[in-house]
A and B are shown apart, each in its own frame.
Chain A
Amino acid sequence: MSAARRTPLIAAIPKMFFPFLVILPGMIAVALTFSDGRLKLPAKPDGSLDFDMAIPVMLASYFPSGLLGLGLTALMASFMSGMAGNVTAFNTVWTYDIYQSYIKRDASDSHYLWMGRAATVVGILLSIGTAYLATRFNNIMDFLQLVFAFVNAPLFATFLLGMFWRRATGHGAFTGLLLGTVAAAFHHGLTLPVGAVAGIKGGWMTADVLHRYPSEMAQNFWTAIFAWTTCFVMTIVISLATRRDKSDEALTGLVYSLTPKPAEDPVAWYRRPAGFGLIVLVLVTILNIIFW
């Protein structure tokens, strides 16, 4: 049990150094481009440097044949593993949690297997389409945060209330989640980052937008804040207005206050989840202070 609770904390340690992996190659590429011109970053049509090409350009100009093959293989392998993981999650959720639970129950295993394969094909087609949408953004992070603002931000409020508030009802959660996503859509549709045209980046609801944000990221964060707040408030309001349909016994193991706390394993303090989490937290704080 203690090992299972430590797993996300252990995974947090490499994640702390993720910014180094993301930012450092780009900084090296910029430094090499501007110092003595040994490296040439390709320019975008508008004249600015194309930072998305930093890694491929550095691979091509510094790796000799031999290591170049390994580098390209590693790049492809990481793309493929990320894609495979997400497509697998997609077909599992669709086939198992949606199709089998709500659309067609009690079908044969071979039918579900076929549906899983079809969902894989659809998932890959969807990801190809998403790739075309993503090319319209300056960088992948802006696009990722936009998706997160729509999907993850309201979901976070739902999970939070579901886990820590026993009075939350199913109707409240569903309606709150729906309204949270709608709020995100409204905010996205009514605002626009400076210098962007209406469309995928927002502003698709009115001709003249209510507010212009200095950057895509600012708009994304405000979208997320609106979505989360709407979902949080509406879930509480609707839960209080609807009747409770689950007893405390039915929620045992789901809501924190109704779940028995697991006993701590008798191990050293730094191997317990709380101690380990504290170490991770301190390290994150130190890193944030260093790179303010």
Chain B
Amino acid sequence: MSLDIRIPIGLLFTIIGAILVVYGLVSNPAMYQAIGINVNLWWGAFMLLFGIVMFVVGRRKASQAR
């Protein structure tokens, strides 16, 4: 049992980020009038990036340990 916490966190953020990015791209732009920017797209992209970095760093540490 030596699961690096960054791997599940990375997977979670990657999946949620990807869902938000896709939804931000296909959803009706009128939805974002209150706030002015497509928050689904941008926050999704940020979460996706964060998730991938976490996952990659976690995997690299795990493979080094082996």
B window 15-66: CB within 8 A of A: 16, 20, 23-24, 27, 31-32, 34-35, 39-40, 43
A window 27-81: CB within 8 A of B: 38, 61-67, 70
- Assembly CA distance A63 to B44 (angstroms): 13
Q: Is the CB of B23 within 8 A of A66?
A: yes
A61: chain B residues within 8 A (beta carbon): 34
CB distance from A64 to the nearest CB of B (A): 5
Q: Is the CB of A67 within 8 A of B31?
A: no
- Assembly CA distance A63 to B39 (angstroms): 8
Chain A interfacial residues counted at CB < 8 A? 9
Say which size band chain B's interface belongs to: 10 to 19
Where chain B touches its partner, the secondary structure class is helix
Q: Is the CB of A62 within 8 A of B34?
A: yes
Q: Is the CB of A66 within 8 A of B35?
A: no
- Assembly CA distance A66 to B20 (angstroms): 6
Number of A-B contacts defined by CB within 8 Å = 26
A66: chain B residues within 8 A (beta carbon): 20, 23-24, 27, 40
B23: chain A residues within 8 A (beta carbon): 66
Selected from A38, A62, A65, A67, the residue in CB contact (under 8 A) with B43 is A67
- Assembly CA distance A66 to B27 (angstroms): 9
- Assembly CA distance A63 to B31 (angstroms): 9
CB distance from B54 to the nearest CB of A (A): 17
CB distance from A216 to the nearest CB of B (A): 36
Q: Is the CB of B34 within 8 A of A67?
A: no
Q: Is the CB of A67 within 8 A of B39?
A: yes
CB distance from B11 to the nearest CB of A (A): 16
CB distance from A209 to the nearest CB of B (A): 49
B24: chain A residues within 8 A (beta carbon): 66
- Assembly CA distance A135 to B29 (angstroms): 40
A38: chain B residues within 8 A (beta carbon): 34
- Assembly CA distance A61 to B16 (angstroms): 22
- Assembly CA distance A99 to B39 (angstroms): 52
B27: chain A residues within 8 A (beta carbon): 64-66
Interface residues of A (CB under 8 A from B): 38, 61-67, 70
7 CB contacts below 8 A, A to B, read: A38-B34, A64-B35, A64-B40, A66-B24, A67-B40, A67-B43, A70-B20
The 5 closest A-B pairs by CB, nearest first: A66-B40, A64-B31, A66-B23, A62-B35, A67-B39
List 10 additional contacts besides A63-B39, A64-B39; criterion CB under 8 Å. A61-B34, A64-B27, A64-B34, A64-B40, A65-B27, A65-B31, A66-B23, A67-B43, A70-B20, A70-B43
